Amino acid sequence: MSTDAQLIRSDITAYLSKYEQKELLRFVAVGSVDDGKSTLIGRLLHDTGMVYEDQLAAVKAASKMEDGGIDFSLLTDGLRAEREQGITIDVAYRYFSTDARKFIIADTPGHIQYTRNMVTGASTANVGIILIDARLGVLQQSRRHAFIASLLGIPHLAVCVNKMDLVDYDEQVFDRIVAEFKAFAADLDFKDVTCFPISALKGVNIVEAAAETPWYLGPNVLQYLETVEIHDDLNRVDFRFPVQCVLRPNLNYRGFAGQIASGFVEPGDTLMSLPSGKTSQVKAVDLGGVPCDGAAVPQSVSIRLEDEIDVSRGDMLVKADNLPRVTRTVDAHVVWMSEAPLDTQKSYLLKHTTQTVRAQVMKVRAKIDMDTLEDGDGSSVGLNDIAKVTIGCTRALYIDAYKRNRGTGSFILVDSLTNNTVASGMIEAPAAGQDLDALLRETRAGSAIEPKTQVSPRERFDRMGQHGATVWLTGLPGSGRWALAYALERRLFDEGRTATVVDPTGNDFQGILSACKAATDAGFITICAYDSYQRDKRHVLRGRVGTERVLHVYINTDVAICRERRPNANFDGFEPPVEPDITVALDTVRLGDAVDFIVDQLGRRGQFERPD
């Protein structure tokens, strides 16, 4: 019986003032399918009295346990679709409190394809709980979960060796798993790793000392959650204040509103505003419009300065003697969270604190091999992959290493076409120091992205349903090549493709080449029949546009017919193509059939999106 329950009945006011003082702890629970994670959470909720009778009645009714018991996992598995699949599919948040603390649980699915959900839940967690099936021991899956938890900067790890009831609560089984896990975790970044022998199903070592494990003398899971020290996990040293908005209700008040990302601030402190580099003293720190003695991470405040310096959303206030790194290029781990793979040729939006800039992944340095957890081949990065990348930005960011500062060391990438969040980023430690001059130069520097198109070929393909190409038609005067060019354009257009004929009027060969390249880059099926008697000219064309993007069509209509059609034309010096992609004779093949043939060839080359 909880002492709180008695206090609620006897003195509600005393209870409320006690409750109000409780600290908040967030934890994320991860496990593979069938590790019993939902059961553990359901058990915690139930055993701490957080389940109302009507909820419990609904769960009892839905339980299909062999022994007629309660399926605690049903307390947490919310959505219809996942009830049908019998697994949790997305992050769910749960709440409970005890005499000591209030808890927020991020309940995330553990199988590998849902890395992104685990990362989501882990991003704000103080504690990570990993479940290991006592019968199976430390699986690769468990290592992955620990690796991700460490990467996301969770300070404290709790390893629950579950289903101890199925190994007869054997101490040796537990010790073996603990030894193996701790050896592995020694290379990770946790402040501490604590292991528990539990049975979620039977409620062993969850909220009470268990008779089943007399050899285990440590705390149970709940005791641990109630006492693990989290106060010093926040960075209380480096003051960083990303400005969310400027409060200017009247001429006498000008406050910069935001949430303190790290450190603390007091009236009288000398602050520098980035990017301007201007400094001023703090006149007041206001909480809800009322001045206070000072404030610390993670409080939302508004700061008033002595001087009228220009500060707006996206700027950052810092202490003049403790500056962040200011840079337009960052090295980071990214977790890819989108079905569309990472595209190094397109630009994304990068949101870092309150600033959003254009950014491009300039280099994928490695992709983490999720089997070995070591650097692997980074040639492609897709959904749920973790990669080490270098990102260039159009403007300077004010950063710290993620390990030192979760607030200024993290960012998200957003696809500006779909508006989806495609990646989350954890910034690596920047190289050695930067003096004030270098810092301010960086704030004034231009974009770190080389000035070139920010629209990648893949994006164009997604939009247009086709890759750009140049269909180059060669043949004698009178061979019918221009007629074929325009017929092909019409057909492609009718089929929903984007095509154009580069008109020869007023153009020389160089001009034609430029036009073909530009239209092909833009994703058009570009059609041209400009004179190119010499093989050299066609060679130059391939050089400019790219061999793989040129479809060379030779129209070898009978010479006699050509001469009959165009008696005054110049037929000298024509060099027939050596290896054209397509050869058609328009005296024996009908125009429509020739068009069919070319369109078919384009399709075979993978020019067009395949129908779904």
Long-range pairs, 2-6, Cβ under 8 A, ≥24: 2/49, 2/98, 2/99, 3/99, 4/99, 5/49
102, 95 in Cβ contact below 8 A? yes
Nearest distance from C-beta of residue 430 to other proteins, angstroms: 19
- How many whole angstroms separate alpha carbon 325 and alpha carbon 330? 10
Residue in 54, 66, 307, 494 binding other proteins, rule: CB under 8 A: 54
Please say which residue, 244 or 344, places its beta carbon nearer to other proteins. Answer: 244
Regarding 248 and contact with other proteins (CB under 8 A), the answer is yes
Regarding 526 and contact with other proteins (CB under 8 A), the answer is no
Counting Cβ atoms within 10 Å, is residue 508 exposed (0-12), middle (13-18) or buried (19+)?
exposed
Please say which residue, 191 or 248, places its beta carbon nearer to other proteins. Answer: 248
Judged by CB under 8 A, which stretch of 16-24, 207-215, 374-382, 551-559 contacts other proteins? 16-24
Q: What is the CA radius of gyration of the chain?
A: 33
Size (the chain), residues:
612
Nearest distance from C-beta of residue 363 to other proteins, angstroms: 23
DSSP-based helix, strand, coil % in the chain, nearest 5: 30, 30, 40
Please say which residue, 23 or 548, places its beta carbon nearer to other proteins. Answer: 23
Strand partners, 264: 296
Regarding 514 and contact with other proteins (CB under 8 A), the answer is no
Q: Is 137 left (phi over 0), alpha (psi -120 to 50) or beta?
A: left
Please say which residue, 55 or 500, places its beta carbon nearer to other proteins. Answer: 55
Please say which residue, 291 or 543, places its beta carbon nearer to other proteins. Answer: 291
Pattern 78-97, other proteins, x by CB under 8 A: xxxx-------xxxxxxx-x
Nearest distance from C-beta of residue 416 to other proteins, angstroms: 7
Residue in 136, 166, 349, 455 binding other proteins, rule: CB under 8 A: 349
Residue 512: which H helix or E strand, with range? helix 509-521
Residue list 205-234, contact with other proteins (CB under 8 A): 231
Residue list 275-314, contact with other proteins (CB under 8 A): 286, 288-290, 293-296, 298-300, 313
Nearest distance from C-beta of residue 87 to other proteins, angstroms: 13
Judged by CB under 8 A, which stretch of 48-56, 220-228, 373-381, 544-552 contacts other proteins? 48-56
Residue in 104, 136, 340, 585 binding other proteins, rule: CB under 8 A: 104
For residue 164, give both structure tokens.
């101890």
Residue 222: which H helix or E strand, with range? helix 221-227
Residue in 190, 264, 533, 597 binding other proteins, rule: CB under 8 A: 264
Counting Cβ atoms within 10 Å, is residue 434 exposed (0-12), middle (13-18) or buried (19+)?
middle
E strands, 191-299, are: 192-197, 240-242, 245-250, 253-259, 264-265, 270-274, 279-287, 290-292, 295-296
Regarding 33 and contact with other proteins (CB under 8 A), the answer is no
How many residues bind other proteins (CB under 8 A)? The answer is: 82
Please say which residue, 247 or 340, places its beta carbon nearer to other proteins. Answer: 247
Regarding 13 and contact with other proteins (CB under 8 A), the answer is yes
Residue list 164-203, contact with other proteins (CB under 8 A): none
Judged by CB under 8 A, which stretch of 100-108, 177-185, 499-507, 593-601 contacts other proteins? 100-108
Other beta carbons within 10 Å of 156: 23
For residue 525, give both structure tokens.
């099926």
Nearest distance from C-beta of residue 191 to other proteins, angstroms: 18
Judged by CB under 8 A, which stretch of 19-27, 374-382, 383-391, 509-517 contacts other proteins? 19-27
Angle value at C-alpha 421, between 420 and 422, nearest 5 degrees: 100
Please say which residue, 326 or 412, places its beta carbon nearer to other proteins. Answer: 412
Distance of alpha carbon 361 from the chain centroid: 12
Nearest distance from C-beta of residue 267 to other proteins, angstroms: 11
Q: Which residue has tokens 């010093």?
A: 232
545, 520 in Cβ contact below 8 A? yes
Pattern 357-376, other proteins, x by CB under 8 A: --------------------
Please say which residue, 267 or 376, places its beta carbon nearer to other proteins. Answer: 267
Judged by CB under 8 A, which stretch of 112-120, 438-446, 448-456, 572-580 contacts other proteins? 112-120
Please say which residue, 81 or 438, places its beta carbon nearer to other proteins. Answer: 81
353, 317 in Cβ contact below 8 A? no
Judged by CB under 8 A, which stretch of 52-60, 272-280, 364-372, 478-486 contacts other proteins? 52-60
Regarding 46 and contact with other proteins (CB under 8 A), the answer is no
Judged by CB under 8 A, which stretch of 211-219, 350-358, 556-564, 604-612 contacts other proteins? 350-358
At 381, is the secondary structure helix, strand, or coil? coil
For residue 603, give both structure tokens.
């399709």
How far is the CA of 506 from the CAs of 401, 477, 500, 512, in angstroms? 58, 18, 17, 10
Please say which residue, 189 or 600, places its beta carbon nearer to other proteins. Answer: 189
**Contacting residues for 274 by C-beta, under 8 A, at least 6 apart:** 315, 316, 317, 318, 324, 326, 398, 443
Regarding 416 and contact with other proteins (CB under 8 A), the answer is yes
Please say which residue, 417 or 436, places its beta carbon nearer to other proteins. Answer: 417
- How many whole angstroms separate alpha carbon 159 and alpha carbon 35? 12
385, 375 in Cβ contact below 8 A? no
Residue 474 CA neighbour count, 13 Å, CB half: 24
Judged by CB under 8 A, which stretch of 127-135, 242-250, 571-579, 598-606 contacts other proteins? 242-250
For residue 496, give both structure tokens.
């929903």
Residue in 128, 155, 263, 478 binding other proteins, rule: CB under 8 A: 263
* Dihedral sign (CA 98, 124, 267, 253): negative
φ/ψ of 6, rounded to 5, equals -70, -40
Residue in 139, 245, 445, 559 binding other proteins, rule: CB under 8 A: 245
Residue in 43, 46, 116, 395 binding other proteins, rule: CB under 8 A: 116
Nearest distance from C-beta of residue 600 to other proteins, angstroms: 37
Nearest to 150 by CA among 398, 376, 402: 402
